[in-house]
Homo-oligomer: A and B are copies of this chain.
Amino acid sequence: MSLVVQKYGGTSVGTVDRIKHIAERIAAVAHDNHHIVVVVSAMNDETDRLMTLAHEISAQPDERELDLLLSSGERTTIALVAMMLKEMGVKARSFTGRQVGIFTNNAHTKARIERVAADRITTALEQNLVPIVAGFQGINEQSDVTTLGRGGSDLTAIALAASLHADRCEIYTDVDGVYTADPRIVPMARRLDRISYEEMLEMASLGAKVLQDRAVVFAANHQVRIVVKSSFSEAPGTEVIQEHREMERNAVSGVTYDRNQAKVTLIGVPDTPGIAARIFEPVAQADIIVDMIIQNVGQDAMTDISFTVPKDDVPKAIEVMNCVSQEIHAKRVEVVQDIAKVSLVGVGMRAHSGVAAKMFVIMANEGINIMMISTSEIKISCVIEEKHVEAAVKLLHREFELDKASR
């Protein structure tokens, strides 16, 4: 008997009618004699509604309380989905993060899963129940509610799929797979039939908001086979699997962008050994994820250090940097918010050279200034002015012939 974990995002459970629709999908799988575990997010807009309440109270709400607040969104959904299934004659039962046994560390609002117990889920499956699991939430060792960060329900689904040795994990969303570029910007963008974990990881972390990046890492580490599909169509979706040779035929698989970045610069930093550690250790301790780092060539034993952080973390980053700046006697802190990152991704880059050079030439010919660059084996990213982002994505998609390739 096969076991599938299905995860439905906020738009898929946004109204009672949509809940009915997905309940019918779930019922069909259950009636086919497959074991199925369902993970759901909060109803569309519910997280925003709760977040607005919190921000009416405080500009920086207490994170423990914020986690408790936000976790009620998924609790509402699991109750409603389980009710709907029971109303349709399917034996279903809701489980909160705590009831599943999603144990996390104590990093409120972006906790890491440390252990998945899932005893109650296994028992429920043995009783032929369909477990409906609240995504996004866990508990720490004090038994306080934690949340797994934006898109954390993906991680819940994949961690459960790994823990239960599921045959696959289907991620239902409002798009029907992973595209060569954002179809809202590039109408010629193509859906990819399959993609490697690494490519998916780069796409996710670069802002193609199909899957949470930590979820992809977890899936790769535990070899969980993911299928990204639309809950509104029967299209086959995109499989996320291990890399294989055939994937390397094309140099580039997709072009992505990320507007959710800001650039923080420490100006007038004494250029002494160990200075980077003194800057970035407190940043890490504040749980701020730094993406790119650039250190300018120093003059007169002074240098400037720039790095990018998610826009949400800017207030925290400024706080930390003001401290650091005093401590190391830097001149001042500067923040630039209107930047964006454009990236090319593809496992084919391992086999094809010259991708980066071609990218820089294309951008230069259009007069788009590149502020920062970072590269990995399968990715090249450039930070540019935000106003150029759409033009850059269109241009790169066309010049790398992503509309023509076949995979």
A interface list, Cβ under 8 A from B: 16, 19-20, 50, 53-54, 56-58, 61-62, 64-66, 68-69, 71-73, 75-76, 78-80, 82-84, 86-87, 93-94, 96, 98-99, 143-145
Contacts and interface: CB of A to CB of B under 8 A. Distances in A.
A96 B80 contact: no
Q: Which of A54, A76, A86, A94 has the most CB of B within 10 A?
A: A76
Contacts of A64: 93-94
Q: How many copies does the complex hold?
A: 2
Given A50-B76, A57-B19, A83 B62 contact: yes
B99 A83 contact: no
Contact of A75 (B68, B80, B82): B68
Nearest to A23: B57
Contacts of A71: 75
Contact of A53 (B16, B68, B82): B16
A84 B57 contact: yes
Contacts of A66: 79, 83
A61 B99 CA distance: 21
Contacts of A84: 57-58
Contact of A83 (B54, B82, B83): B54
Contacts of A75: 68-69, 71-72, 75
Q: Which of A72, A73, A83, A96 has the most CB of B within 10 A?
A: A83
Contacts of A98: 98, 143
Given A71-B75, A75-B71, A53 B80 contact: yes
A79 B87 CA distance: 32
B65 A82 contact: yes
